[in-house]
C-alpha cells in the first residue's frame, strides 16, 4: 500500500490518464478523494491551498517528509512509473534511460499525445460532454 492521496474527478480526461497508469502499475492508492469539478469543488479554498492551479488530478505522497505534492497528470504518471514501477526493465512503463533510441521514441510518442492527440480530444470532450452537462446545471455560467 502506497502513502499516496489522490485528488481526482474520476470522470474526466486528465484524471483518467492517471488512473490508467495506476491500473497498469497495479498501485494501491491509500486515499482517493473525489473532487467534483462540475460543482466547482476544485475552486474551494481548502483545495486551492493544496493545488493553487485549481485543477485535478494532483497527489500528496507521504513517503517523504515533507510530503511530495505533485500536479500535472503526465508528470505524476511518470513519477509513479519511476518510483513505483517494476525494477525489471522489460516490464517498466518507461524506457531504459541508457537506451537513447528508446528514450527518443518515448519522447516522440509523448509529444504526439500532448500536441496532436490531446489538443483535439480534450476540446472534443469539453464541447460534447462537459459543457452541455455544466451548462444544464449552471445555465448562466460564461463558458464558451
Q: Which residues bind ligand GSH (CB under 6 A)?
A: 12-14, 37, 42, 54-57, 72-74
Residue 115 C-beta: closest distance to ligand GSH, Å = 13
- How many degrees, rounded to 5, is the angle at CA 46 between CA 55 and CA 23? 45
CB of 101 to ligand GSH, least distance (A): 27
The answer to whether 106 and 94 have CB atoms below 8 angstroms apart is yes
Nearer to ligand GSH, 40 or 106 (CB): 40
Question: 54 vs 97, which CB is nearer to ligand GSH?
Answer: 54
Compute CA 54 distance to the chain's CA centroid, rounded to the nearest angstrom. Answer: 13
Report CA 39 to chain centroid distance, whole Å: 19
For the chain, the straight-line distance linking the first and the last C-alpha, in angstroms and rounded, comes to 42
Residue 137: which H helix or E strand, with range?
A: helix 131-137
Provide, rounded to whole angstroms, the least separation between the CB of residue 117 and ligand GSH.
13
Nearer Cβ to ligand GSH (86/117): 117
Q: Rounded to the nearest whole angstrom, what is the least distance from the CB of residue 89 to ligand GSH in the complex?
A: 27
- Residue owning grid cell 491509500: 30
Residue placing its CB nearer to ligand GSH in the complex, 100 or 109: 109
Amino acid at each position: 500500500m502506497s502513502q499516496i492521496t489522490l485528488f481526482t474527478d474520476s470522470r474526466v480526461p486528465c484524471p483518467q490518464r492517471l488512473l490508467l497508469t495506476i491500473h497498469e502499475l497495479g498501485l494501491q492508492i491509500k486515499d482517493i478523494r473525489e473532487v467534483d469539478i462540475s460543482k466547482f469543488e476544485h475552486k474551494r479554498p481548502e483545495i486551492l491551498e493544496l493545488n493553487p492551479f485549481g485543477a485535478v488530478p494532483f497527489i500528496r505522497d507521504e513517503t517523504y517528509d515533507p510530503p511530495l505534492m505533485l500536479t500535472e497528470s503526465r508528470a505524476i504518471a511518470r513519477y509513479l512509473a519511476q518510483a513505483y514501477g517494476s525494477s525489471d526493465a522489460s516490464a517498466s512503463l518507461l524506457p531504459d534511460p541508457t537506451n537513447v533510441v528508446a528514450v527518443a521514441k518515448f519522447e516522440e510518442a509523448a509529444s504526439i499525445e500532448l500536441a496532436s492527440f490531446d489538443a483535439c480530444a480534450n476540446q472534443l470532450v469539453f464541447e460534447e460532454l462537459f459543457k452541455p452537462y455544466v451548462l444544464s446545471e449552471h445555465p448562466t455560467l460564461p463558458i464558451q
